[in-house]
Amino acid sequence: MLVTRFDPFAEIRELEKRLLGAVSVPTVSAEGDKEVVNAFVPSVNTREDENAYVVEVDLPGVKKEDIKVNIDPEKRTLTISGERKFKEEVKKEDYYKIESSYGKFMRTFSLPENVDVENIDAKTEEGVLHITLPKVKKEEKEVKEIPVK
């Protein structure tokens, strides 16, 4: 009978490998070997004021040309997508490690009914994408009295 040593963390390490493999992109290491880096998932902040909803997406290192903002008026969704591209840097003299994530990303948000989809504005500033979703102005209607005849 063969005796094997029990490793309580073996299953967890295997699960971690499979999960990271599902959301990873290949990159090139300093030695030229293929490595795997986790996919880029940008952080998003949302807020609301009396006139609009504001979505701010942290996109450091992403060029304006690599960002797409789409509105689907039928499904009432806002989709932000793009790609942060890997920079081919190699250092051979010293130890070199890359911790930044690269790759394609996509985030989709449901829009409230009171968003004016015709006047949405998007701009980038210092690595942050600012999307302003103006609210439809409610017409305040006065109570009209109907004379009884």
Q: What is the mean pLDDT of residues 62-82?
A: 92
Architecture of the domain defined by 10-134: Sandwich (2.60)
Q: What is the CA radius of gyration of the chain?
A: 25
* pLDDT tens readout for residues 81-135: 998 877 666 566 665 666 667 788 899 999 988 999 889 999 999 999 999 999 9
Higher pLDDT, 119 or 3: 119
Higher pLDDT, 137 or 122: 122
pLDDT band at residue 39 under the 50/70/90 scheme: low
The answer to whether 97 touches 91, Cβ cutoff 8 Å, is: no
What is d(CA 79, CA 98) in angstroms, rounded to the nearest whole number? Answer: 29
Domain boundaries, the chain: 10-134
What pLDDT sits at residue 31? 47
What pTM was estimated for this model as a whole? 0.62
Strand partners, 76: none
Higher pLDDT, 38 or 109: 109
